[in-house]
Amino acid sequence: MSEARLLVLNAGSSSIKFAVYGMAAESPAWHGQAEGLGGRKPQLLIHDGNGGTPEVRKLQDGSHEQALRCLLEWLDQTVGHQSLRAVGHRVVHGGIRHAEPVHLDSELLDELDDLSGLAPLHQPHNLSAARHLMKLRPELPQIACFDTAFHRSQPWVAQQFALPAEWQERGVLRYGFHGLSYEFIAGELQRIDPALAEGRAVVAHLGNGASLCGIKGGLSQATSMGFTALDGLPMGQRCGALDPGVVLYLIQQQGLSVEAVQDLLYHRSGLLGMSGVSHDMRELLASDEPAAARAVAVFCYRAAREIASLAAALGGLDGLVFTAGIGENCPPVRKAIVDHLDWLGFSLDEDANASNAARIHCADSRPVYVLATDEQAVIARHTRELMATIQD
Ligand code: ADP
């Protein structure tokens, strides 16, 4: 009989990232993505573990359903129909109820759909992939792993908004996101610096979406994102923390519709809005436009302020970790952030920072690490563990 496999999916608006794992494997045998969905040239890219040229399959209509159908066909041809035992999904918002991964059924999908307004860029796409698969392969167990789950360990005080209690009771709380990434990094810290893993660390997940998490003893204590993934740091296109009075002003005084405000805050703000050049940090760092440099400066300044705020929540700070696209690859951004934090005992070794080394601090600094994150590996592990309990 062929080897049992797990499929991990991260479905977004224009792409579906996937990875295929053996039941006991730490790294995927294949990974790739359906990309350009909804565009003119949708295609499925498949990489094997050897780093060669990817296999490319054209997609006809660019719908998410067709992309999943094509992925399943490829899996049937490659590993055999019976091999696939479960699918693990990244689901961004699990709301107040879900602190652990869960087995999805259509009732639960309806419940999670109610949270789509809180994560409009991700949640509807995460859930529609699961719905399509339920139709295409109804016998296949599907597991949801939530980005909010890791933060359910935050103390109550870190979860509050200063709103009347009735709103908290209705679930208006600071949830936090990027939890699958923080969970992975917390595990990596155990491996590379067990003392820091037991101590007080801030992890900076800096990608197109960006947030920070204060972790103590492996548990989330506070995080920069809140009720939605708009809060906290400025991001590629999202505004980050904003005086809520600005939203009222835009609607009441400037006559913007709710939809226009949503579009402004989710798609036209952040690095793109401030620079007028790009949402992409690489392009901003390469640009001669003064507005590009200013946008990067605001990003780094806000990140440093939020790190110091998390240090207060943790009762001190023993170390820093940078991760995700910007965190792993942008030395000038790490330098600008850490330069703001020298009063907390942090300084960088310039050569180590310039080469994106794993340890980038000076000998007399508290530790600063650059660690690659791997949300898919966390989803694979949870899916495997939950499948073992279902099969027992
Ligand atoms: P997300 O997963 O949230 O879409 P990523 O983690 O892929 O985002 O991060 C995207 C950001 O990381 C972009 O701003 C991009 O410029 C930056 N980035 C990614 N790779 C590199 C690199 N090799 N050098 C510099 N910046 C990079």
The response to whether 69 counts as a known ligand-binding position is: no
Is any atom of ligand 1 closer than 6 Å to the C-beta of 287? no
Cβ proximity of 24 and 6 under 8 Å: no
Q: What is the pLDDT of residues 285-328, one digit of tens each?
A: 999 999 999 999 999 999 999 999 999 999 999 999 999 999 99
Cβ proximity of 16 and 26 under 8 Å: no
Question: Is 168 a domain residue?
Answer: no
Determine the Cα angle at 144 with ends 187 and 196, to 5°: 15
**Which residue, among 9, 46, 49, has the nearest Cα to 28 in the 3D structure?**
49
Q: Is 113 a catalytic residue?
A: no
Question: Is 186 a domain residue?
Answer: no
Is any atom of ligand 1 closer than 6 Å to the C-beta of 129? no
**Which residue, among 157, 158, 132, 156, has the nearest Cα to 68 in the 3D structure?**
132
Three-state SS for the chain is: CCCCEEEEEEECCCCEEEEEEECCCCCCCEEEEEECCCCCCCEEEEEECCCCCCEEEECCCCCHHHHHHHHHHHHHHHHCCCCEEEEEEEECCCCCCCCCCEECCHHHHHHHHCCHHHCCCCHHHHHHHHHHHHHHCCCCCEEEEECCHHHHHCCHHHHCCCCCHHHHHCCCCCCCCCHHHHHHHHHHHHHHCHHHHHCEEEEEEECCCEEEEEEECCEEEEECCCCCCCCCCCCCCCCCCCCHHHHHHHHHCCCCCHHHHHHHHHHCCHHHHHHCCCCCHHHHHHCCCHHHHHHHHHHHHHHHHHHHHHHHHHCCCCEEEEEHHHHHHCHHHHHHHHHCCHHHCCCECHHHHHCCCCECECCCCCCEEECCCCHHHHHHHHHHHHHHHHHC
Question: Is 183 a domain residue?
Answer: no
Cβ proximity of 187 and 304 under 8 Å: no
Is beta strand 200-206 parallel, antiparallel or unpaired with respect to 210-216? antiparallel
Is any atom of ligand 1 closer than 6 Å to the C-beta of 292? no
Q: What is the pLDDT of residues 120-177, one digit of tens each?
A: 889 999 999 999 999 999 999 999 999 999 999 999 999 999 999 999 999 999 999 9
Please give the pLDDT value at position 26.
86
Question: Is 167 a domain residue?
Answer: no
The best mutation among 92, 147, 185, 208 to test binding of ligand 1, ranked by most ligand atoms within 8 Å of the C-beta, falls on 208
Which of 108, 126, 146 finishes a domain?
Answer: 146
Question: Is 159 a domain residue?
Answer: no
Please give the pLDDT value at position 208.
94
Based on the domain organization, do 212 and 299 belong to the same domain?
Answer: yes
Based on the domain organization, do 119 and 223 belong to the same domain?
Answer: no
| Total domains in the fold of the chain | 2
The Cα–Cα gap between 281 and 72 comes to 35
Question: Which contacts qualify for 301-304: CB closer than 8 Å, 24 or more apart?
Answer: 301/340, 302/233, 302/234, 302/240, 302/241, 303/204, 303/206, 303/210, 303/212, 303/233, 303/337, 304/337, 304/340, 304/341
- The single residue listed with the structure tokens 């694979």 is 380
The Cα–Cα gap between 146 and 385 comes to 15
Q: What is the pLDDT of residues 173-210, one digit of tens each?
A: 999 999 999 999 999 999 999 999 999 999 999 999 99
Residue nearest (by alpha carbon) to ligand 1 atom 3: 208
The response to whether 205 counts as a known ligand-binding position is: yes
Question: Is 211 a domain residue?
Answer: yes
Based on the domain organization, do 241 and 364 belong to the same domain?
Answer: yes
- How many angstroms does the Cα of residue 5 sit away from the middle of ligand 1? 29
The response to whether 209 counts as a known ligand-binding position is: yes
Please give the pLDDT value at position 392.
63
Is any atom of ligand 1 closer than 6 Å to the C-beta of 79? no
- How many angstroms does the Cα of residue 324 sit away from the middle of ligand 1? 7
Based on the domain organization, do 133 and 270 belong to the same domain?
Answer: no
The Cα–Cα gap between 16 and 171 comes to 29
Question: Is 42 a domain residue?
Answer: yes
Q: What is the pLDDT of residues 330-360, one digit of tens each?
A: 999 999 999 999 999 999 999 999 999 999 9
Q: What is the pLDDT of residues 26-85, one digit of tens each?
A: 899 999 999 999 888 999 999 998 888 999 999 988 899 999 999 999 999 999 989 999
> What is the domain extent for residue 296?
193-375
CATH number of the domain within which 20 lies? 3.30.420.40
CA-324 nearest atom, ligand 1: 6
**Which residue, among 369, 316, 294, 363, has the nearest Cα to 338 in the 3D structure?**
369
Q: Is the pLDDT of residue 1 over 70?
A: no
Q: Give the global pTM.
A: 0.95
Based on the domain organization, do 201 and 343 belong to the same domain?
Answer: yes
The best mutation among 185, 266, 274, 330 to test binding of ligand 1, ranked by most ligand atoms within 8 Å of the C-beta, falls on 330
Which of 108, 131, 146 finishes a domain?
Answer: 146
Query: Half-sphere exposure of residue 86, counting CA atoms within 13 Å on the CB side?
Result: 26
The Cα–Cα gap between 324 and 372 comes to 7
Is any atom of ligand 1 closer than 6 Å to the C-beta of 325? yes
Based on the domain organization, do 71 and 205 belong to the same domain?
Answer: no
Based on the domain organization, do 121 and 218 belong to the same domain?
Answer: no
Mean pLDDT of the chain: 95
Please give the pLDDT value at position 322.
98
Based on the domain organization, do 136 and 201 belong to the same domain?
Answer: no
Please give the pLDDT value at position 10.
96
Based on the domain organization, do 138 and 219 belong to the same domain?
Answer: no
Based on the domain organization, do 136 and 258 belong to the same domain?
Answer: no
Based on the domain organization, do 223 and 359 belong to the same domain?
Answer: yes
Based on the domain organization, do 14 and 131 belong to the same domain?
Answer: yes
Tokens of 363: 């000998």
Question: Is 92 a domain residue?
Answer: yes
